[in-house]
Amino acid sequence: MATALITGASSGIGRDLAILLSRKGYSLILVGRSLSRLEAVLPKLSHKRVRLLALDLSKPEHCYELYRQCKGEVDLLINNAGFGQFGEFVHSKLETELNMLDLNVRAVQILTKLFLRDMVKQNRGTILNVASIAGYLPGPLMATYYATKAYLLRLDLAIWKELKKRRSRVQISTLCPGPVATQFNQRAGVQFAIPGRNSFWVAAYALQQLEKGKRVILPGWEAKAVAVLSKVAPDSLLLEGAWLAQRRKEK
């Protein structure tokens, strides 16, 4: 029986991925900072083959502890935990930004590296890293968050190519959604200028595309349009458009 490990599993896309994977028969390892919030997900699942781990993955030692506890068990790793922060770079809190880098980048780096090594040895397994359409754009007023998602997108593409060259059966994919109606907005201190897509729909689409072996998953026409635009528009236009869009998000 396959086992999926999902970080940031107590709400939003992570929670909905857990619900859908439980329906597909996966055993689950759900990770979040709050045990009570993880427990609130349990009634929504189709079975009870679930382990809950309350860990703060912005702390490297917790990432290593997660790997130690789950080594050899994971067939599908979903790195979903992350957050954003709104505001000019000159005014935003450095401590918050460093915490964001630890969770959005460093934790994903550690977990991807450790679990990927095992998967490559076994020549099977799948990793889904949740980035954002923000990874395709410059992000004035959310500079650090956008940069973290660009890092994940480029990291995953490079790993994908390495796996292909070694003819590995291991798969790595990147989910790059546009606005999604989750608690991300409240923590980041933003309000999207356009309605966010339903997180359950995004989760279902992501799993559908993952099963097809899609390298980069772009849910909805908005995400696809931004990805195309980022390749053809000059940086000056992207920067101005991003600035105007970000200003409209401010609460």
Helix orientation angle between 107-122 and 60-70, rounded to the nearest 10 degrees: 20
User: pTM of the prediction?
Assistant: 0.91
- pLDDT tens digits for range 64-85: 999 999 999 999 999 999 999 9
Told to judge if 164 belongs to the known catalytic residues of this protein, a careful annotator would answer: no
- pLDDT tens digits for range 189-225: 555 555 678 999 999 999 999 999 999 999 999 899 9
Catalytic residue among 145, 165, 205, 224: 145
Whether the pLDDT of residue 182 is over 80: the answer is no
Banded model confidence at residue 245, pLDDT cuts 50, 70, 90: confident
Q: Helix, strand, coil % (nearest 5) of the chain?
A: 55, 15, 35
Told to judge if 149 belongs to the known catalytic residues of this protein, a careful annotator would answer: yes
Catalytic residue among 149, 212, 249, 251: 149
